[in-house]
Amino acid sequence: MRLQAALFLACLSPAAAIYPDEINHVDFHHALLGAPSADSTFFLKPSPSSNASLLYTLSDKLIVGAVNPRDGALVWRQNVSRSANSPANAGLLRGLDGNDALVGAAGSYISSWSAQDGKLGWENWVSGGVVADLELLELEDATASSGLRDTVAVINSEGTGIVKRLNGNNGRTVWEYKDASGDVPFQVSSSSTEIFYVSLQSALLKGFKIKVTALDPLSGQVTRQQILNSEADVGTPESVIYVGANSASPIIVWTDKAQKTLKVNVIGTKEVTSIAIDNTSGSDIRQITVHAPHKLNALPHFLVHYATETGAWAEVCHVDLMSGKVTKVYQLPYLPGQSAVAASVIDANVYFTRITDSEALVVSSASHGILGRWDLQKPSSDSALHSVSEVVAKGKSVAVRSALFRKHGDWQLIRNGQVEWTRHEGLIDAVAATWAESAVQEDLAHELEVEGHETVIGAYLHRVKRHARDLQYLPDWLKDLPKRILSSILTDEVSNLDSFGVAKPVLVATKNGRVYALDTGNHGAVSWGIQAVETSNWAVKAILASPGAATIYSDDGSSVTVDVSTGEIIARVEPSSSKLLAIAVLGAQDGSKLATVGVNADGSPATSFADEDGFLVTTSADGRVLGWIAKDNKIPVWEFVPPSGEKLVKATARPAHDPVASIGKVLGNRSVLYKYLNPNMALVTAVNEETHTASFYLLDGVSGKVLHATTQAGVDSTQPIASAMSENWFAYSFFGDVSGRESSAKGYQLVISELYESPSPTTVVLSTPPAFMIPEPISHMAVTQTRQGITTRLLLCTLPSSNSIVGIPRPVLDPRRPVDRDPTAAEAEEGLFRYAPYLDFDGKWYLSHTRDVAGIKDVLSSPTLLESTSLIFAYGSDIFGTRATPSQAFDILGKNFSKLQLVLTVVALGAGVAVLAPMTRRKQVNALWKI
Amino acid sequence: MHFSLTSLLLLGASALVSASSLTITIPVSSSLPNPHVLPATSHATLTTLPSGEKEHTLSASLTRSATFVFHDLPSSSLDAQPESYLLDIRSAGDYVFAPYRVDVAADGTILGIWETFRGNPWDNRGTEKYIVDVAGKKQLDVVVEAKVIGRKVFYEQRAKFSPLSLVKNPMVLLAVVAMGLMFAMPKLMENSTSIAVSAFCLIVYISSNLNALVDPEMRAEFEQHSRASPITGATNNAIAGGGFDLAGWMAGTGSPSPAVNAAGPAGSTGRDTSGTARRRG
């Protein structure tokens, strides 16, 4: 039976699947990680056999990821925030060269991941604590079996410090050291012979003393303890600048309060070396960072980087292994502007890479001679926050590649001064997006409008002038013509579809106040990015696109208007009113005149809207649905309150652009079922968390009448309940449980209902089948939009558990499919086939095919000038865009159309005519002679 | 003695942890010959309706050894009802795994694991994968094998260009036949007209009946149709009748044979219908 259904499906739904050669051509995907954190980003060789290294990071979104430094492509990623129970503000990630395991920690969660493919090695939850620091043991002791290196973790368990050594292969605890003295657990460091547990001991009056406890790596026994008198300088844990990790002589670095002297202690010794800070810049030091090699066999050299508001310099220091003394060796001079420094190691030699606004240079830690210097090809105005570098020595010269993270969220790889790639990690915070309209078409529309309003002669003259003006483009056009003809034969796509509106730019607003423009016609490349608002939490409520410009509205009543092509800020409206709950967009059906109305938290419009016959449906923060008419923003016309115990979770309406190609449906018996096409319907979802029910109310937006209400039992309200509406149908999905009756099914369900006009004018006929069981949860639903609505619609479903987007063809979900019987001849003629309770997602429905599109919160669809094609853009965490052709690209000559074959046929016909013409002529002449 | 000591230790451990673990291994199968090719994003989930403070959705990532491990299955007070979880394994949409039903007792130990079928009642259990020992000896770590059902096909295959397809094209065939007639006909006419024309007619007949020859059902239908159709009827008659002057028929000059009269409408003579002609004959 299932096979039969599948066969029917194959015949019925026109395969809208993507061809393998269309990947990266019609679609694009930005697989994002988030802002890489400064101390958990590094280059690493994942396998001892290979020399190639990958770039690893743990981002501020707690995503562990590996990036190929060659092209910036994501190799693998794992989101550990789902496993980290307690909210952690920063995670930790550690790795070792040649050790195929990365160990990461976030909150109470520690996990080990295979460095090559990102598969889980082991995972651990520390009970009642937070991981404060993590270190991989580089030394190999006698007990260590072959395999992965062990991990030492410091856990802050409600004030008690616990040091644990975890087995690298299975994550089991080898030994544990508990520090119940009440000190603040701080960090862990190791040398070749000892493990140092660094904690901060509260001094009598104020400040902290740094306490170093040396532990035996094999048994975890305390071997000695040292307390450094740092209480005058160290007021908070943040005052300690650096605790050196894994170098031959690990160090602790801090400064005095006035930032005049740098204090360095080699861990394990009692001595504290003071180095005077030579601040010649005249301004205050804003930030001090220490860059030291992380390898056990590296030279004990380190670099201290001082940054002021306007410039930066650095000092290189050496540690004398015998005496434990620290000496300043040389200085990298003060340069105005930003600079980022990174340390890298080849064998035992230490190299420092410094990237400033205009150049990149490499020095050896041993001497101040510059080994390599490159001018940056494109100096960036965006300041660099941190970088990691990998240096390769080629004879006397060196080559360097640095991954530089910039303040505005761009992660760049700079190889010998050249920017190799840029990952726009700032896009991960996208909160709103819209399709922009370029101003070029607007000009023509304007000109045509002018012509329409003039007299016949005036319009004619205007048009002649316009055409004469257009002649200036003729030489260029002629020059391009041969190239266009050639390229159109050779390239994939038969014609360039950009002029049909398939290459619209998309504007994306992010949470931290930035606006990006993505070119969907060019693999979603970022055309520009600007800081529109200085904020860390931009609550964008609406983006309105007008030709050439877009206005972004925030919840405080402020708005920013940007130029679509350049990113310039054209206009800015300062915040005015109190916090708005939402912003409604009012407009005519053709979308020409758009206006916005703010909605207050109580659901009332902030202003009375001027549109005479307009009305508005709003939801309030306390879960009521209200209907308003124009000119009265005080008293609603109607109010819908869900029954007590139910909480409103979502309200959906038909999309603004939702053309209906056919108002009825012709049945097999040649009668017509007319669709109930009310443009003002709203589907309201309300859940009752106590009784595990979900209710769906279909409201008429004008009268507030409940057209239809249904309640589903056994619904998990903590799982996503998605809904969508279009034309005369609506769909929703939820997780349904057996709810006491073992005979019902357990799993995710999708319900679709259609509305038809009934003979009596007051009622609506509803067609609802039993729910479809679907294999996965759906977190968001949308419907494809095409220009005239002739093309079959797809129900776009975001699948959060398999990180994909699926487009279910509407005919498959027809609620009129016969249940428990085969279709009659009349029904078969309509294309109905037997209902099967289980709806498996066909692979060909996957718009994201094999891509891992993670964290999508919203999917937009936009019509193009081609009826067959609908643009799709998804954002939220990753960015994904594609073109959907639900009824296949019937108005485009696709790749299947071979121009070469056409040309060859024409040539062959020409040749045939050339051969046959003389023959016929001769024959005719012969025939004449015969008579 | 030694045994009892370890079991005591185990008991102690279970009292401390008070939960068991579930490990799902992926066996080598014909549809998945190497389980290590599964992408790192593959994961298994246990889902049920929330009840109390217990976690009701659990997730496990794919491990290096191509397994999914659920540590510490949720437990609650002993008087609580056992939970029944839906186990799904999802592999970036590529490989499709069978869903399982996992029943977990209130103390967090697994009571049983069965295959289940989507869209079927929950108590409609399939193959039993694990069941708790009736003697009451509870197993803390349960290992079951996942079942790969199939693989999703995401892509449409593009028709490849081949010269053979060009030959199959009816337009091309028509052109070839026309060319053949153009060049071959005059020469053949000179030699033996009747042979050439009968060969041509045979080609026409075979090509028009090709479908009917393939399928008996279709053939029956076709014959039914052909009774009504004068053209093919005539051709049939002609072939069956044997002594038919094809050349004459082609030329349209007419002949005394009644069969040729029957073929009238097909030729340009336009006299009578085949049925009536035969009845008269």
Tell me what the mean pLDDT of segment A190-195 comes to: 84
DSSP A715: B
| Residue A795, both tokens | 């129900």
* Helix or strand (DSSP H, E) at A3: helix A2-12
Q: Is residue A7 part of a domain?
A: yes
Nearest residue, CB atoms, A120 vs list B64, B86, B91: B64
Q: What is the DSSP string of B49-79?
A: ---TTS--EEEEEBBTTSEEEE-S-----TT
pLDDT of residue B8: 36
Q: CB–CB of B90 and A776 under 8 A?
A: yes
B-chain residues within 8 Å CB-CB of A895?
A: 158
pLDDT of residue A452: 78
Sorting pLDDT into bands at 50, 70 and 90, what band is A665?
Answer: confident
Our CA-based measurement puts residue B38 at a distance from the nearest CA of chain A, in whole angstroms, of 10
Half-sphere exposure of B5 (CA within 13 A, CB side): 2
| Residue B154, both tokens | 């995401």
Q: CB–CB of A15 and B156 under 8 A?
A: yes
Q: How many CB atoms lie within 10 A of CB A450?
A: 14
- Judged by a CB distance cut-off of 8 A, whether residue B50 touches chain A is yes
Supply the range of the domain harboring residue A886. Answer: 1-30+650-677+712-727+735-897
Our CA-based measurement puts residue A287 at a distance from the nearest CA of chain B, in whole angstroms, of 39
Our CA-based measurement puts residue B232 at a distance from the nearest CA of chain A, in whole angstroms, of 31
Mutation pick from B83, B122, B160 vs chain A, by most beta carbons of A within 10 Å, is B122
A-chain residues within 8 Å CB-CB of B90?
A: 776, 801-802
Our CA-based measurement puts residue A13 at a distance from the nearest CA of chain B, in whole angstroms, of 13
The least confident of A425-429, B82-86, B216-220 is B216-220
pLDDT of residue A481: 86
Q: Is residue A8 part of a domain?
A: yes
Q: CB–CB of B56 and A802 under 8 A?
A: no
Q: CB–CB of A846 and B93 under 8 A?
A: yes
pLDDT of residue B193: 56
Q: Which has the higher per-residue pLDDT, B77 or A92?
A: A92
**For A292-331, how does the pLDDT look when each residue is reduced to its tens digit (9 = 90+)?**
988 878 888 999 999 998 889 999 999 888 887 889 999 9
- Indicate the angle between helix axes B216-228 and B193-214, nearest 10 degrees: 120
- Rounded to 5 degrees, what angle do the CA atoms B214, B219, B225 make? 140
Tell me what the mean pLDDT of segment A856-866 comes to: 92
Q: Which residue of B has its CA nearest to A743?
A: B121
Q: CB–CB of A850 and B118 under 8 A?
A: no
pLDDT of residue B249: 57
Q: CB–CB of A802 and B93 under 8 A?
A: yes
Q: CB–CB of A18 and B156 under 8 A?
A: yes
A-chain residues within 8 Å CB-CB of B74?
A: none
Name the amino acid, one letter, at A440. Answer: V
A-chain residues within 8 Å CB-CB of B86?
A: 746-747
| Residue A909, both tokens | 């016909």
- Judged by a CB distance cut-off of 8 A, whether residue B64 touches chain A is yes
A-chain residues within 8 Å CB-CB of B159?
A: 896
Tell me what the mean pLDDT of segment A359-373 comes to: 89
- Judged by a CB distance cut-off of 8 A, whether residue B16 touches chain A is no
Burial of residue A465 (CB within 10 Å: 0-12, 13-18, 19+) is exposed
Evaluate if pTM is beyond 0.90: no
Indicate the number of domains in chain A. 1
Nearest residue, CB atoms, A120 vs list B61, B116, B152: B61
Q: CB–CB of B49 and A19 under 8 A?
A: no
**For B121-133, how does the pLDDT look when each residue is reduced to its tens digit (9 = 90+)?**
888 888 888 888 7
Please give the mean pLDDT across all residues of chain A.
86
Our CA-based measurement puts residue B138 at a distance from the nearest CA of chain A, in whole angstroms, of 24
Q: How far apart are CA A150 and CA A260, in angstroms?
A: 39
**For B80-95, how does the pLDDT look when each residue is reduced to its tens digit (9 = 90+)?**
778 889 999 998 768 8
Q: CB–CB of B99 and A747 under 8 A?
A: yes
Contact between A639 and A627 under an 8 Å Cβ cutoff? The reply is yes
Residue with tokens 């853009």: A873
**For A764-790, how does the pLDDT look when each residue is reduced to its tens digit (9 = 90+)?**
777 776 789 999 999 999 999 999 999
Q: Which residue of B has its CA nearest to A900?
A: B161
A-chain residues within 8 Å CB-CB of B49?
A: 692, 714, 716, 735, 737, 739
pLDDT at A871 over 90: yes
Sorting pLDDT into bands at 50, 70 and 90, what band is A746?
Answer: confident
Q: How far apart are CA A600 and CA A588, in angstroms?
A: 23
Contact between A562 and A515 under an 8 Å Cβ cutoff? The reply is yes
pLDDT at A137 over 80: yes
Report the SS3 class of residue A235: coil
Q: Is residue A312 part of a domain?
A: no
Nearest residue, CB atoms, B40 vs list A78, A123, A738: A78
Q: How many CB atoms lie within 10 A of CB A817?
A: 22
Q: CB–CB of B122 and A850 under 8 A?
A: no
Q: How far apart are CA A218 and CA A175, in angstroms?
A: 8
| Residue A700, both tokens | 């008429």
Residues of B (95-124) whose Cβ lies below 8 Å from A: 96, 99, 101, 116-123
Residues of B (135-174) whose Cβ lies below 8 Å from A: 152-159, 161, 166
- Judged by a CB distance cut-off of 8 A, whether residue B39 touches chain A is yes
Nearest residue, CB atoms, A692 vs list B49, B61, B88: B49
Can you list the domains of chain B with their CATH numbers? 15-151 (2.60.40), 163-280 (no CATH)
- Judged by a CB distance cut-off of 8 A, whether residue B269 touches chain A is no
Mutation pick from A172, A801, A895 vs chain B, by most beta carbons of B within 10 Å, is A801
Q: What is the DSSP string of A262-315?
A: EEEEETTS--EEEEE----S-S-EEEEEEE----TTS-SEEEEEEEESSEEEEE
Q: Is residue A508 part of a domain?
A: no
Nearest residue, CB atoms, A118 vs list B40, B45, B116: B40
Contact between A654 and A679 under an 8 Å Cβ cutoff? The reply is yes
Q: CB–CB of B49 and A743 under 8 A?
A: no
pLDDT of residue B240: 42
Our CA-based measurement puts residue B244 at a distance from the nearest CA of chain A, in whole angstroms, of 31
pLDDT at B256 over 50: no
A-chain residues within 8 Å CB-CB of B121?
A: 742-745
Nearest residue, CB atoms, A743 vs list B47, B123, B158: B123
Q: Which residue of A has its CA nearest to B150?
A: A843
pLDDT at B263 over 50: no
